[in-house]
Amino acid sequence: MANAATGGFIARARLLLAALVFALASGCATNGTDARDPIEGFNRAMYGFNEGFDEAIGKPVATAYRDVLPSFVRTGVRNFFANIDDLFIGVNNLLQGKPIDAVSDIARLAVNTTIGILGLIDVGSHIGLEKHNEDFGQTFGRWGASDGPYIVWPMFGSSTVRDSMGSVLDVSLDPVRNHRPVNVRNVMLLTRATSKRADLLDASRVLEEAALDKYVFQRDAYLQRRRSLIYDGNPPREERSLRGEREPQAEFAPAERSEAANDPVPTATAIAGADDAEQPAQTR
Amino acid sequence: MLNSLLRLARHFLLFALAGWAGAAAAQEVLPDVLVKNVTLEVIDIIRKDKDIQAGDQKKVIDLIELKVLPHFNFTSMTGLALGANWPKTTVEQKKQLTQEFRTLLVRTYASALSAYRDQKFDFLPLRLKPTDTDVNVQVRVVQSGAQPVSIDYSMEKTAAGWKVYDVIVAGVSLVANYRTDFANQVREAGIDGLIKILVAKNSSNASSARVEKK
Q: Which amino acid is at A272?
A: A
Query: Looking at the partner chain, which of A193, A206, A240 has a beta carbon nearest the beta carbon of B12?
Result: A206
What ipTM score was computed for the predicted complex, to two decimals? 0.82
* Residue numbers in A near B107 (CB within 8 A): 209
Q: Which of these ranges, A1-10, A202-211, B13-22, B185-194, has the smallest mean pLDDT?
A: B13-22
pLDDT given for residue A258 in this prediction: 38
Q: What is the pLDDT of residues A96-136, one digit of tens each?
A: 999 999 999 999 999 999 999 999 999 999 898 999 999 99
Residue B5 CB partners (closer than 8 Å, separation 6+): A157, A158, A218, A221, A222
Mean pLDDT of B69-90: 95
Q: Which of residues 24-63 of B touch A (CB under 8 A)?
A: none
Decide if A132 and B147 are in contact by the 8 Å CB cutoff: yes
Chain B residue closest in CA terms to A112: B145
Instruction: Give pTM, 2 decimals.
Output: 0.79
> Which range among A14-28, A229-243, B149-163 has the greatest average pLDDT?
B149-163
Chain B nearest-CA distance from A208, in A, is 9
B3 touches chain A (CB under 8 A): yes
- Report the mean per-residue pLDDT for chain B: 84
Chain A residue closest in CA terms to B197: A212
B165 touches chain A (CB under 8 A): yes
**Helix boundaries (H) for chain B:** 6-14, 31-48, 50-53, 57-63, 74-82, 91-113, 174-213
Beta strands B149-158; B134-142: pairing state? antiparallel
Q: How many CB atoms lie within 10 A of CB B61?
A: 18
Q: For residue A176, give the nearest of A76, A94, A80 by alpha carbon.
A: A80
Cβ atoms A48, A23 nearer than 8 A = yes
B157 touches chain A (CB under 8 A): no
pLDDT given for residue B58 in this prediction: 86
Chain B residue closest in CA terms to A248: B84
Chain B nearest-CA distance from A226, in A, is 8
* Residue numbers in A near B106 (CB within 8 A): none
Decide if A79 and B145 are in contact by the 8 Å CB cutoff: yes
Q: How many CB atoms lie within 10 A of CB B94?
A: 17
Element (H, E) at A43: helix A40-53
CA–CA separation, A266 vs A131, rounded Å?
31
pLDDT given for residue B210 in this prediction: 63
Chain B nearest-CA distance from A279, in A, is 9
> Which range among A85-94, A254-263, A264-273, B19-28 has the greatest average pLDDT?
A85-94
C-alpha pair distances (Å), A174 with each of A62, A82, A171, B11, B57: 22, 12, 5, 24, 41
Element (H, E) at A153: strand A150-153
Q: Is the pLDDT of residue B23 over 80?
A: no
Decide if B3 and A158 are in contact by the 8 Å CB cutoff: yes
Q: What is the pLDDT of residues A258-267, one digit of tens each?
A: 333 333 333 3
Q: For residue B201, give the nearest of A23, A217, A220 by alpha carbon.
A: A217
CA–CA separation, B198 vs B187, rounded Å?
15
